Each structure stands twice: as C-alpha cells, then as structure tokens.
Amino acid sequence: MADRLTPRAREIVTAARDLLEESGAARLTMRTLADRLGIKAPSLYKHFPDKQAVEVELVAQLLTETAETLEAAEARAPGSLEALAGAYRDHALAHPHLYRLATERPLPRAELPAGLEDRAALPLLRACAGDMDLARAVWAFAHGMVVLEIHGRFPADAELDAAWKRGLTALQR
Amino acid sequence: MADRLTPRAREIVTAARDLLEESGAARLTMRTLADRLGIKAPSLYKHFPDKQAVEVELVAQLLTETAETLEAAEARAPGSLEALAGAYRDHALAHPHLYRLATERPLPRAELPAGLEDRAALPLLRACAGDMDLARAVWAFAHGMVVLEIHGRFPADAELDAAWKRGLTALQR
DNA sequence: ACAGATGGCTAACGCTGTTAGCCAGACCGT
DNA sequence: ACGGTCTGGCTAACAGCGTTAGCCATCTGT
C-alpha cells in the first residue's frame, strides 16, 4: 500500500490529510498545502500531476482505514452487522471532512489501488452471507445515516442511536 | 411560496436552475449565469447578496418539489412506504445535480421558508405512523441509495431495484 | 569531472466570487 | 413640469484559485 508514492509525495499527502481534517476541503488548496510544507505551490507539481491526484491518495486512505476498521470489527464479533455498522459510523464521524471528500464525488476507480474498493466491501458482504442486495441496502443505510449526521440534517435532539438500532435490526434478517 | 423574490430574481433563479441541471454545479458560476441572462456578473448582486443566496433558492425548490412528490405519492397510495420511496428516488434521479447541490452541504435552515423542511418530512412520518426512529432509518436508507446511485458507487450491473425492495420490506415492520 | 535527474523558485494566465463606483432611465411628490 | 430617489444595468478591479513555463541549484551516477 506504500510504494506507489515517493517519500516526499507521502509527506505531501500527510500534510494534506492534516490540513483537510483541521480545516475542511474548502481550505485544502495547493497554496496552503505548500505553505505548510515550507515550499511554493508550483513545486507540488513536481510530485503530483494535479490537485486531484493528491485527493485520490486521501480517498485511498479512507478506503484503507475503513477496510481495516471493518476487518477489526469482524474479528472482534464475527457476523455481527451492529459491530460493522458501529465501526463504520465511528470512523466516519471521527474524520468527517475526509469522509465527505471521499464520498461526495464519483470514485476515481482507475487511479485507486487495485482491489481496495472490494476489500473495504468484503466484511459487510460476509456478514450478509453473500446476499448482495442486503449488503447494498445496509451500506446505503449506513452511508445515509453518516452523511445526514455529518451535515446536521437530523434535529439536534434526535435519538440517532435508536435510529441506527431500528434500521439495523430491521435489516438483520 | 412565491413572493419572497422579485420577478427579476425569480428569472435569475430559473436560469440558475436550467444551468445547474444542464451542466452541474461546477459550471454554475456567476458569470455563466449572467451570460445566460444577457447581463454581466456584477449585476446579479443587485438581486442577491451572494451566490449562496441563489443556491438557497435552488435548495428550496428541491425541498418543495420533494414535498409535492411525496404528497402526491401518499394521495395515490396512502401508507405505502414503497410508493414514497419510489417517488423520492424518481425525483432525485431526474434531477441529480439539484439533488447533490441541496444535499452535499449543511442545510441553510435560517434562509429557508419556514416549515418547508418539516413539510417535506411529513408524508414519511405519517407512513411510519409517527415512529421517528423508523422514519429516520428509512430516510437514511433512501438518501444513501440515491446518492450512491448518483455517484456511480454501485457496480454497473447491480440490481438496484432489488436492493431497494430488500431494504424497504425489511424496514417495513 | 561532467550529465542528467531532482526539486526547488518566480512570473504569469485564466478562472472564480465579489466590491466600488458610475450612469441611464423610471417613478414620484411638489 | 421639475427635481430626487430608486432600480438595475455597466466597467474596472482585487484577491484567491489551479496550473504552466521556464530558470536554476544541488545531488547522483558514470
């Protein structure tokens, strides 16, 4: 997962990640990113062809971490949809800007490490015993909950734990 | 619902809507919008304080149309979650750029017509017999399905009708 | 010791949202 | 009928955005 990037490029992605998580996508600009690294914006283009290429690495980070998170949850509680959903939710809400960046545009599939998308999906598919329709429904539910939560679309006093539980037990079987 | 805007402002919003649906949010700029109206960009600021204020009107349009769509579905098939979900999905997929614009940022609640958000939510709440947790779960599921569909996150050969049905029947009771 | 690659730099372009300031015409009160 | 205000255009300009071109120092390999 590592050597698709030179060391310097990896430093840039790290700075980009920090910047994104601190200040959101709107403030992740080539100039502020360069500033943080003590260089000028055009120098970034020695390491990445364009801004999108940097963002692709961040998307890959989210996918990788999601896969790891789900695999860990699966190891802890095999076959449990609640465990998967809880892990997914916690990771997403811990990194809302990253989640939005990775989620609010079409996936740059061609530029992503091969197999990564599938790897992130596998634990859920296993928990659904191979029922793809169910897996997609659960995924949509979880993604919907997370993104509505991130955007503050639910009333402030909404009992979201209850809504998660309600949805998951219903989808359970 | 109409006289919160002057006639000229309404013309501007109409042009913005057309532009958005034709070309997506990235090409909805103050200059292209002005072009379409035969004026220059700075003149737009005689009618709206900033670009966001124009976008808020588009968000209000989506909410209004969603409310109308759901109310019509409810009238056609009272109490049917499937009918509501189908109407929601159809409207969203018919206007993907508008749906994204209205959905991929925090709701500008303060600038929206009073009661509009609630009105859009009511049909679903009625179909859920007042069970708020269930209503939120269904909403999250539907939103998740729509947005994943719009962004092409499902495999091209995915049987999305089946996933919708699977989710809805599970949530049904 | 020289060649080429690496990774900085400045200057600049075209695009974005937005502001300031000017001006023509419509409308209104005396 | 005249003067004042409001309306809604305009041009010029600014700062910030992603990005390109072109220059140059330093480091690496033969």
Residue ranges covered by each domain of chain A: 55-172
Closest CA to B40 of B50, B55, B30, B25: B30
Q: Is the CB of A50 under 7 A from strand D?
A: yes
CB contact under 8 A, A166 and B107: no
Report pLDDT for A56.
Answer: 98
Report pLDDT for A164.
Answer: 98
Over residues B104-145, the pLDDT tens digits come to 999 999 999 999 999 999 999 999 999 999 999 999 999 999
Among B residues 12-31, those touching chain A with beta carbons less than 8 Å apart: none
Q: Does B170 touch chain A (CB under 8 A)?
A: yes
Report pLDDT for B152.
Answer: 95
Report pLDDT for A32.
Answer: 98
Round to a whole number and report the distance in Å from the CA of B17 to the C1' of D28: 58
Strand (E) positions, A18-144? none
Q: Which residues of chain A have pLDDT under 70?
A: 1-3
Over residues B23-64, the pLDDT tens digits come to 999 999 999 999 999 999 999 999 999 999 999 999 999 999
Closest CA to A81 of A72, A90, A73, A93: A73
Which residue type is seen at A7? P
* Banded model confidence at residue B3, pLDDT cuts 50, 70, 90: low
Place of tokens 């601190």: A22
Report pLDDT for A1.
Answer: 43
**DSSP three-state, residue B136:** helix
Report pLDDT for A3.
Answer: 65
Class of domain A55-172: mainly alpha
A140: chain B residues, CB-CB within 8 Å: 141, 144-145, 148, 163, 167
Q: Is the CB of B32 under 7 A from strand C?
A: yes
Q: Which nucleotides of D are covered by protein (CB under 7 A)?
A: 7-13, 16-22
The mean pLDDT of chain B is 96
Q: Is the CB of B154 under 7 A from strand C?
A: no
DSSP B42: G
Distance CA B44, CA B26 (A): 18
Give the CATH superfamily of B7-172: Tetracycline Repressor, domain 2 (1.10.357.10)
Q: Could you tell me what percent of chain B has a pLDDT over 70?
A: 98
Report pLDDT for B76.
Answer: 97
Over residues A101-128, the pLDDT tens digits come to 999 999 999 999 999 999 999 999 999 9
A137: chain B residues, CB-CB within 8 Å: 141, 145, 163-164, 166-167, 170
Place of tokens 């990194």: A95
Decide if pLDDT at B173 tops 90: no
Q: Does B166 touch chain A (CB under 8 A)?
A: yes
Q: Does B134 touch chain A (CB under 8 A)?
A: yes
For chain B, helix, strand, coil in percent to 5 are 75, 0, 25
The encoded tokens of residue B33 equal 């919008």
Report pLDDT for B1.
Answer: 43
Report pLDDT for B4.
Answer: 82
B148: chain A residues, CB-CB within 8 Å: 139-140, 143
Closest CA to A88 of A71, A102, A101: A71
